[in-house]
Structure 1
Amino acid sequence: MQPGDSYETGFDESAGKTINSTATCPECDGTVVADAGERHCTDCGLIIDEYHIDHGATKRQAPESETDPSHVGAPRTKTMHDGGLTTRIGRRRDGAGQKLDGARRRRLRRLRTQHRRARHGSKRERNLELGLREASRMTGALGLSESLAEQSAVIFRRAQAADLLLGRSIEGVAAASVYAACRCAGLPRAIDEVGDVARVSTERVRNAYGVLNEGLGLPTRPQTPRDFVPKFASALDVKAETRKRALDLAERAVETGVANGRQPSGIAAACLYQATRECGATRTQAELAALADVTTVTLRTGWHDLRNVLQTTETRADVDAAEGC
């Protein structure tokens, strides 16, 4: 299919311009113009229903846009290098759903090749598309929301603008951007989880994240055991009272210094283990350790220290109560 085969000869898509052809109004032989998705006669006003392409906004009533019901297509997105304005060329069917013959399929294949080569004006744009595509793949594999996918794309764009990709793997920086988006949003995702779905090692993801954090000044905060408790509690499907007790224990661990210098996920698992014991829904240490991606020794050590703090607090409370009597 040639580009000129889609429309009639002399068809003008520009709004408000006279069509340069011999076509005239069938009623009064007046001048026919194309304007706002229709062809009409300037003399008698007759609308000739042959122009079905409307470049204007389509009016529709939507609950999320009551003030401005105009609709002009899909919104732009940061997750694509061209903002979501990509042109896709079909393979076996045309726009009307009809099957294409062999000659037209071969012609479209050549057009796709030329289109793919012309999409990028420079190597920088190719690297941007590769990084954004990799970040989108990982956010989908991790089950992250669309907002986090957008945020990870923005972080990757900022990293490229700051020349932080020089000498580093694009896949590693893309994975670090996904992890940085989770950290900025306060989502409890371990860097090992991102490393499992990345095409590079976890160590390279950790190094790239350090570069991003220092070079871009990301608004991240230190992770605490309280951040991981809801995630682990949902995975174990524990009761609400057990979840609340684990959150209280996580705060106590931070206040008493039990969590200092330790992996937050391990302390969160220890707090949840203690909460399940107190609420009569005991879970094994191996189960919680596997959930937190720590060893049973790490969980047991944190649990012993937490239990000692709780026993000391209870003993002190009993002594204070006895002295008060």
Structure 2
Amino acid sequence: MRAKLGLPESVVEQTAYWFRKISAKKILGGRSTVVILCATTYIVCRLTNTPRTIHDIADAGNVKTKHLQRIYRFLVKELDIHPIAYKPDEFVTRLAKATSVSEKTQRLAFKILSIAEKKGITTSKNPMSMAAAVVHLASLKNKEKVSQLKISEVSGISAVTIRDRSKEITKCIGGEI
């Protein structure tokens, strides 16, 4: 999983630590060890602010996202931990590199995201969908040919959601970008 997700050594070590802690609590019984390991990895990624989505980890561990989400919620409750939510800016660079947009477009995406955050548009929205929307808007503004479909494939967010988030952002901050 480390190689597939490109995780730093510190995340791997902390995952092992938390997995041993979970094992000592005797809550593994009747649950898939692979799913528990994936959920633990996701928890550690959230705790260490290493931006990996639950879908990334599900794909790397070859487990169903639904099972991973259920075990993740169970472990968070059992261990009484409160991981912080990701921010969309953590995913903008990743999407910009994957879609091969210019540095100028990437900077514009960060600027659009900053304005959107100040206006409160990003609150309670999937951070990856917001990142995808700002990369899309920035590429349109700079006349770079990056399709919604390509951004959708790279981000795992549907083209419809990207379009909806883009419309929300444009509606609220239209003249500022």
TM-score (norm 2): 0.89
Cα contact 2:51–2:91 (8 A) shared by 1: yes
Residue identity opposite 1:165 in structure 2? L
- The 3 A distance-change label for structure 1 pair 212 and 312 is same
Secondary structure class of the residue paired with 1:270: helix
Worse overlay, 286-295 or 256-265: 256-265
Deviation at 1:174, TM superposition (A): 0.6
Deviation at 1:199, TM superposition (A): 4.3
In structure 2, the residue matched to 1:193 is: 56
Cα contact 1:267–1:302 (8 A) shared by 2: yes
Give a deviation string over 1:8-46, Cα, whole Å, max 9, x none: xxxxxxxxxxxxxxxxxxxxxxxxxxxxxxxxxxxxxxx
In structure 1, the residue matched to 2:151 is: 288
Secondary structure class of the residue paired with 2:84: coil
**Structure 2: 5+ residue stretches without partners:** none
Which 4+ residue blocks in structure 1 deviate beyond 6 angstroms? none
Is structure 2 residue 85 aligned with structure 1 residue 222? yes
In structure 1, the residue matched to 2:27 is: 164
Q: Greater share of strand residues, 1 or 2?
A: 1
**Which structure has the greater CA radius of gyration?**
1
> Which structure has the higher relative contact order (CA within 8 Å, separation 6+)?
2
Deviation at 1:219, TM superposition (A): 5.1
In structure 2, the residue matched to 1:311 is: 174
Deviation at 1:194, TM superposition (A): 1.0
Give a deviation string over 1:195-235, Cα, whole Å, max 9, x none: 11224322111111112222223352111211110111121
Residue identity opposite 2:135 in structure 1? L
Deviation at 1:304, TM superposition (A): 0.7
- CA distance in 1 between counterparts of 2:2 and 2:144 reads 34
Is structure 2 residue 42 aligned with structure 1 residue 179? yes
- CA distance in 2 between counterparts of 1:291 and 1:196 reads 13
- CA distance in 2 between counterparts of 1:312 and 1:238 reads 23
In structure 2, the residue matched to 1:206 is: 69
Q: How many positions carry a matched residue from both structures? A: 177
Give a deviation string over 1:182-204, Cα, whole Å, max 9, x none: 11121221111111122432211
In structure 2, the residue matched to 1:302 is: 165
**Structure 1: 5+ residue stretches without partners:** 1-137, 315-325
Choose which of 104, 119, 136 in structure 2 pairs with 1:256.
Answer: 119
Deviation at 1:285, TM superposition (A): 1.0
Share of identical aligned residues, percent? Answer: 27
Deviation at 1:307, TM superposition (A): 0.8
Q: Greater share of helix residues, 1 or 2?
A: 2
Give a deviation string over 1:134-190, Cα, whole Å, max 9, x none: xxxx22332222222111111111111223313322111111111112111212211
In structure 2, the residue matched to 1:111 is: none
Residue identity opposite 2:152 in structure 1? A
- The 3 A distance-change label for structure 1 pair 240 and 199 is closer
- CA distance in 2 between counterparts of 1:218 and 1:239 reads 39
- CA distance in 1 between counterparts of 2:8 and 2:176 reads 42
Worse overlay, 182-191 or 232-241: 232-241
Deviation at 1:313, TM superposition (A): 5.3
